[in-house]
Structure formats: C-alpha cells, structure tokens
Structure 1
C-alpha cells in the first residue's frame, strides 16, 4: 500500500518554527516578498541572507514533534512518501526517509545563477561566498515567482497513492495545493489543520486539530485498519 503525505508550515509550527500563513503575509516581522522573492534578492541580497541565516540558526535548535515521529512509525510499516512544503529538516531529524522538499532546504546553498550547483550548508551565507561557477551563493529555497522543479515528481507520488494525508497546510499555495487533485478517485484522504478550508466528503476526512495531536491518532488508525 502506498501512502502520500503532504506537510506544510503547521506541522513545523508546533516545534517552534514560525509561519507567515496566519499573520498578514509577515514572516518574523518581514514582508514575505522582501525576503522570499527574486525581486527582494535583487534589491537587497544582504537583507535576504541575514534573514535566512537567522532561520538556519533557529533550525539547529528546534526538535521534531509527535506528528513527525508518528509519520516515522507509519513509514516503518508502509510505503510512505513525504512531500513537504517546509524548508526545515524536522522530518529527517525524526527519522523519516523518502522526503521530497518542494520548496528547497534551509540547510543547503546554491549558485544564484545555477540551481544545479547545490551544497550542504549549516553556517551563515555571506556576501562574497561563491559557488564553483564564481557566482554568489544564495539559499536553496524556491521563492515566490520561481519554478517548482520537483512538482512533477510530487505529482507522480500522489497519483499512485492509496491513502493521502495532508498535515498543517492551508492548501492555498500552488502548485503544492493542487497535489491532492492527482490522487486516485478511490484514495482515502485525511486532512489535518486547525483551520481547514475544505469540507469533509465520502473519501475526505477532515480533522480541525493541530498536527501533533491528530497525526498520531490517525496513524494508529491507519496501522490498525491495514495491518
């Protein structure tokens, strides 16, 4: 049995990573377009680097929560593919394998002109830090207005799923929000979000709860039902 999981900011928020979703487009007090767009990078790369350097330091201090660990338990029993909109590594810290990062990874840096030149990166990125092609390094993050290179791979994962679990995402950021539309018509879909903007239907089960509370319970249900 194949299980596709889509996770968003809500699953990481319970580990202490802040989200801009519920705060008028502000992320840690910054206009999102100033720190998460090609225009913001071109206008003030130093500001962008400082923003992500602080996020990177924060990431090294936070830990996975019960939702992350529940998915690890699920992955030990079934073919589970996790597609995340998050740029943190909390799924990996919890022991999750097969994690596809749609929007890039905070612990990686890349050439500003070649997205194939990617490097593991846990320290600060500073102006003057160069990739092998001689260009400035930037965060390996997919910013607003940029293509999402792994969306086709994610689409394939969802098109083959028997069960879909959506955790902590408002389903408002495309193309990620459209992934559940590729699930087979008979797939069971579980959606976990404190403020869901969809209604339950025959195959769509909606849980208006936080990730760390609902995910372990739903994972246990899936395991007991399909053991």
Structure 2
C-alpha cells in the first residue's frame, strides 16, 4: 500500500518510514503543506497527516481534500489531545485521530481499520487458481500452504492480483512499489518478477505472463 506521510519531525518521520516499510508499505514523505498538496496528485491509499506543520495547520490540507470531495482516507497524527481538537479534526473529515506519542502496533491497527472501511467493497481475499492472498494478514497461500514472500514480492503479487486479467506495466510497478527516493530499474523489475514467478510455480491455474514491450499479466488461464 502506498502512503503519504506529512510530517516535519525528521526523527518521527524516519521511524514511521522504516516501520511501515518493514510491513511492506511504500511511504512518501512531505514536510510542509505545500509539499503535501503537490504530492496529492499521486495515487495513495492513505495519508498520515501531522497537524503542526511549519507553513500552516494540517487541518487546512484536510479541508482542501474534503472540499473537492476526495474520499482519500486520512489519519491525523498530533500532540493535540483535547476533546475539542479531536472533534474538530473528525468533523473536518479525518477518518481517525492518533495522539502522539503512540505505539506502532496501535497505528498499524488503525491503518488497517481505516483502509478496511475505505475499501469496504474490496475483497479481503484475492484468489486465482489455488493461489490466495489474504490482505488482512498480509499472507499468501498455495493450496492452503503458506508462501514465503519478501515484502516487495508480496506488494507485487497484490498489485498483479488486484489487476488480474489486465496488463501491468513496469512504470506502474515502479510507481506502486517505490517511494520518491527509491527507484527500480527495468532489470530489477525483471528479477523481481522472475523470483515471484518461480515461487508461484507450484500454483495450479495461475499464469504470470511477460508481454514484451507492455508489461506483465497475471491470469487464471493456462498459458
């Protein structure tokens, strides 16, 4: 999942980027309202929004997002712990409100809850052939046997399954699997796909095809 983190405190931001990255998330960081507004042109599943920013109040970004009827899930991160502050943030459209300092286990649970509500119509389990991906547990199985995947392999498999039957280009893979300060060369993507294809080799009814010049296609049909 791609997350926009709007946080000017470097220590907090670095901690969150590292912790969320270990969970398989891709995190872009904006330090100001201006940077955050520019970043929102991208595709994100969630925004983690600090309210005390150097060039203004994070609530203004929240107002702007909701004013254009953008349903993008937003979790406010703040040291403001008064009930009136929490009520204002929620009234302006925040999906949740987390008080600093917080434990990562709590934030991760709130992220799961918010994205689950936002994607209420999305399947909790993605399946093709005897391959199943359980998004809540972030696990994959072949014929009910656990499939060992790295976080990046899991993210790629989730992307391919979500777009099952459609071609996924290398540019789309890089966009969804890399933050701003990362990149994936064409060769690295090819290696990643090769590793995933090898791990999927035992799955029946699953085809991961390479379409030269276009990208990759995961389907439930035999090649």
TM-score (ref. length: structure 2): 0.35
Compare the two structures and name the one with the higher helix fraction.
2
TM-score (ref. length: structure 1): 0.35
Which protein, 1 or 2, shows the higher relative CO under an 8 Å CA cutoff with sep ≥ 6? 1
